[in-house]
A and B are shown apart, each in its own frame.
Chain A
Amino acid sequence: MNEPLTGVGVLIRHAVRLDRVRLLVWVLGITFIPVVTYATYATTYPTQADRLALSATLRSNPSFSLLLGPASNLTGAGGYTAWRTVVITGVFAAVMSILTVVRHTRSDEETGRTELLAAGCVGRYAPLASGVATAVIASLAVGAAIAIGLVASGGGTAGAIAFAASVAAAGIVFAAVAAVAAQIASFARTAISLSVGILALAYLIRAWGDASAFHWVTWVSPLGWTEKMNPFSANRWWMLVLSAAATVALTVLAARLAARRDFGRGLIAAHHGPVDASPRLSGAFGLAWRLHRGRLIGWSLGLAVYGTLIGSVARSIASVIANSALAKTFLGTGHDFVALYLAEIIGLMGIVGTVYGIQALLTARTEEVEGRVELLLSTPLTRDRWLASHLLFALAGSALVVIVGALSAGVTANLDGASTSIGAVFAGALVQIPAVWLIIGVTAVLFGTVPRMSVLAWSIITATFIISFFGPLLKLPRAILDLSAFTHVPRLPGGSVDALPLVVLPVGAVVLLAVALVTFRRRSIAS
């Protein structure tokens, strides 16, 4: 077998076929962000005065430079969309690429599928090349969809293509980053962590460059290149050369590393654990702590950072909203717009906390499907206790995540000079928790009765998110709005408190959890 790429065509077709639904969801989801932003610009900021006010407020706040990059031209839909969404869209494209590459390289090698292929008529570099190629194809599909969407929304062709190209470039560069990471790490999880870590570093470097006096630093980061393309304004096409050069260099590096390492191994050896377990790793709850702690700490830190960033721009955004024609028409004047804004953000954190809770509870399902529960339940461990150990992290963990996120936003908003009380922000977080627990309760009932349907929890939280955040905009009927548990949550700080939901939601959650425990006791354990 002298041809190192033999069979790559077959592998690419196989990978694309395997991933067609997954990648379609990614492409549509990523495209949605810039296209909707572009399409709604005209209705959100209808007059030139609105746009000038927006531009003046946002330019003056360094937090926005940190978050999104420097604002250049916010008086047009294109410039605004580029500033608001190009970096974040690029980040999503990069995540898609990373997951796709690792899935088709290191994951397959870890599970032994590649070994089956390697023994067949497949060249040495073919699996790596096909993984990268699949991610490149997906990135180009994202670019094409964005370009079409922006042009269809009325964007200029050159600007739309520049925007699409800068997003696709981010996806392609990080496909190459993931290809290198997949050679270095021995396991898919490690490869993903490593790649996402580099992505986070790229974001931080870009942010620091934009917000500090050292603007040149931004040019070091691939996400900086995405930003500096400056679609709809400068349209710096030559940024693509930087992306292409980095991609080629990283891909060659990945191939070199692939040639030097042994099959099934990475450059960093698998790490070793202790011979004996610490006394804390004892019983269902000790195990649950080990299984959940990484995710819980990660989510708490993530929401703390997000809350801090959001809190630091709360006053600026509130003043943009207060001065917009839309707010004057619909809300009138004299509101505490900072409180309104924080209430909205805390509502979003309620939903994000629910996502954590569902993920934590579905760990129980993973444990079952992979057969570890069978081993655990062959010991004198009761089913109640085992399920309770995962429920504890889903329930208490989601509450913690929501509170941490809300308080971070509240505290930084106050440091920035807002006058909303921390107590009110804390109350705003607390009232989210019954709604969060209700949805976790529904997830638990699914797990207890029809475990195969547990993943439906994701559809429920997605529907809840759409109803809560787009329902009022889409003018959905009351009956549909009421389906979301979060519709019934009082909006604090600033809003009024209706006691009824604060009784009904917790009671509903408790009943659902009890049903889940009882039904789980009686059902078969999957093999």
Chain B
Amino acid sequence: MPGWYRPAPTGPPAAASPRRYAYRCGYCRADPGGHLHDTITIHGLRKTFGNTVALDGLDLEVATGEVHGFVGPNGSGKSTTIRILLGLLHADAGEVVLLGGDPWRDTVALHRRLAYVPGEVSLWPQLSGGEAIDLLGRLRGGFDPRRKAELLERFDLDPTKTGRSYSKGNRQKVALVAALASEVELLILDEPTSGLDPLMESVFQRCIEEAKAAGRTVLLSSHILSEVEALCDRVSILRQGAVVQRGTLDELRRVTRTTVVATLDRIPDDLASWEGVHDLAVHDARVRLSIETPVLTGFMGRLAGCGIVSLVTQPPTLEELFLREYADRPE
């Protein structure tokens, strides 16, 4: 059973990831001020609600300047993690360092440097969208009104409607405009596009690319996997309150399987027992199988000996990674 591709939950992240330690620590008791932190460092985070374990030893590292995908199904602990990062919830155990500070203790100082878009945006029924954006912007210390006007136009949002007459997607746009208009180092976005149409989705993606180009860090919780694939430098996949996979998309692909469809002159009898081969299906001269990506080279060499007539290989999409992670291990 090739279980080796799955790093232990507490182990170090895959080594190839680009890393810029940026925040001088004002927090860790053992060594105050003596070392540097990522934008977000979480170790062994635990949180229970009554009998429900929401977070079960979660580790997360978000490097400065990266767009980090935070992926997992509903109830896997994404929002709980984010709410602990925002100082709205108190963690039961574990270490959380946000922008070099403690999110529970240094709440106000840290909040000057970040903006947040909740998954379920609720606006004040009697305030117009424009007023809500201004209010949030002023609370974050003010912003450029031209930036607001530009974002309103790009997101095609009518700011004169009142909070109670916006649809879910438009409420999300209000929170997005307020967050993107402010000059902050970190954007924490909790499923920010679940109510947006494909056109707005692409506007959103351009805005995130611009934020990244401006040097901002983005924590993007999402289950729209094409969006994560398009935007994120690195991805952490959650399952039942812990991160079970993390790394760049390439690293994640390396630990999973590639789909191969080939038409061969001769189909070897023992193909099913070749190293790393799974899900073999044979139709006449055509075979369809999935192969563990690390042994792909050796496999192709052996396959060439069988006389390849046609060959299609398909790297795993994030969706496949995701489904595999959950399909392999039933709840």
Contact = CB atoms under 8 A, between A and B. Distances in A.
Contacts of B108: 380-382
A379 B139 contact: yes
Interface stretch (A96-104, A327-335, A366-374, A422-430): A366-374
Interface stretch (A7-15, A208-216, A246-254, A271-279): A271-279
A290 B139 contact: no
B306 interface: no
Contacts of B210: none
Contacts of A273: 127-131, 160-162
Contact of A371 (B89, B120, B128): B120
Contacts of B131: 273-274, 276-277, 281
Contacts of B145: 276
Interface string B131-159: 10011101111000100000000000001
Nearest to B87: A377
A286 B139 CA distance: 11
Given A282-B138, A374-B88, A375-B121, A270 B83 contact: no
B150 to A, nearest CB: 14
Contacts of A274: 128, 130-131, 160
A524 B90 contact: yes
Contacts of B83: 374, 525, 527
Contact of A277 (B86, B107, B135, B175): B135
Contacts, number: 119
A187 B161 CA distance: 13
A370 B160 CA distance: 22
B118 interface: yes
Interface string A119-132: 00000000000000
Contacts of B141: 380
A240 interface: no
B128 A187 contact: no
Nearest to B111: A380
Contacts of B129: 273
A212 B272 CA distance: 101
A283 B128 contact: no
B41 interface: no
Interface residues of A, number: 36
B139 A376 contact: yes
Given A277-B134, A281-B134, A186 B165 contact: yes
Nearest to B152: A275
A277 B143 CA distance: 13
A236 interface: no
Contacts of A370: 122
Nearest to A278: B131
Grouping DSSP codes into helix (H, G, I), strand (E, B) and loop, the A interface class, with mixed when no group exceeds half, is: loop
Interface string A355-388: 0000000000000001110111111111000000
A245 interface: no
Interface in A492-527: 522, 524-525, 527
A527 B79 contact: yes
A110 B162 CA distance: 14
B261 to A, nearest CB: 42
Give the contact-size bracket for chain B: 35 or more
B125 interface: yes
A525 to B, nearest CB: 4
A189 interface: yes
B90 A275 contact: no
B123 interface: yes
B223 to A, nearest CB: 18
B161 A189 contact: no
A466 interface: no
Contacts of B125: 187, 189
Contacts of A277: 127, 130-131, 134-135, 138
B126 A290 contact: yes
B124 A291 contact: yes
A291 B135 CA distance: 13
Nearest to A187: B164
Nearest to A378: B116
A457 B83 CA distance: 28
A387 B330 CA distance: 45
A189 to B, nearest CB: 7
B112 interface: yes
B181 interface: no
B135 A276 contact: no
B127 A375 contact: no
Contact of A377 (B86, B109, B140, B161): B86
A374 B135 CA distance: 14
B160 A378 contact: no
Q: Which has the most chain B C-beta neighbours within 10 Å: A286, A287, A376, A378?
A: A378
Nearest to B134: A277
A270 B162 contact: yes
Interface in B165-185: 165, 175
Interface in B235-291: none
Contacts of A286: 135
Contact of B134 (A187, A270, A276): A276
Contacts of B89: 524-525
Nearest to B84: A524
A281 B126 CA distance: 12
B147 to A, nearest CB: 13
A270 B158 CA distance: 13
Interface string B53-67: 000000000000000
Contacts of B86: 374, 377-378
Given A187-B164, A189-B125, A375 B136 contact: yes
A46 B114 CA distance: 74
B115 interface: yes
Contacts of A283: 138-139
A290 B138 contact: no
A110 B125 CA distance: 12
A282 B136 CA distance: 9
A200 to B, nearest CB: 21
A524 B88 contact: yes
A450 B279 CA distance: 54
B231 to A, nearest CB: 21
Given A277-B127, A378-B88, A527-B79, 19 more contacts: A272-B161, A272-B162, A273-B128, A273-B162, A274-B160, A281-B135, A282-B134, A283-B138, A290-B124, A290-B126, A371-B122, A374-B86, A374-B88, A378-B111, A378-B115, A378-B116, A378-B188, A380-B109, A380-B112
Interface of B: 79, 83, 86-90, 107-109, 111-112, 114-116, 118, 120-131, 134-136, 138-141, 145, 159-162, 164-165, 175, 188
Closest 10 CB pairs of A and B: A273-B128, A277-B134, A378-B116, A379-B139, A277-B131, A272-B160, A371-B122, A525-B88, A275-B130, A270-B165
26 contacts: A187-B164, A270-B162, A271-B162, A272-B162, A273-B127, A273-B128, A273-B130, A275-B128, A275-B130, A275-B159, A277-B131, A277-B134, A283-B139, A290-B127, A294-B126, A371-B120, A371-B122, A374-B83, A375-B175, A377-B87, A379-B140, A380-B111, A380-B112, A382-B108, A522-B90, A524-B89
